[in-house]
Amino acid sequence: MKRVIGKTKPRPGRKSERVIINNGQLEYTYSEAEKAGIPRSTFMRAIDQLVSKGFIDIHHSGSGGKKGDKNLYGISNRWRAWGKAEFVEKKRPRDARGGRGFSIYWKKQNANHGYQK
In a domain, 102, yes or no: no
In a domain, 98, yes or no: no
In a domain, 16, yes or no: yes
For residue 24, the enclosing domain spans 5-90
User: Residue 12: which residues within 8 A CB-CB, separation 6 or more?
Assistant: none
- pLDDT tens, residue by residue, 37-92: 999 999 999 999 999 999 999 988 887 766 778 889 998 989 999 889 998 888 87
In a domain, 60, yes or no: yes
- The rounded distance, in Å, linking the Cα atoms of 74 and 34 is 21
In a domain, 43, yes or no: yes
User: What is this structure's pTM?
Assistant: 0.66
Number of domains in the chain: 1
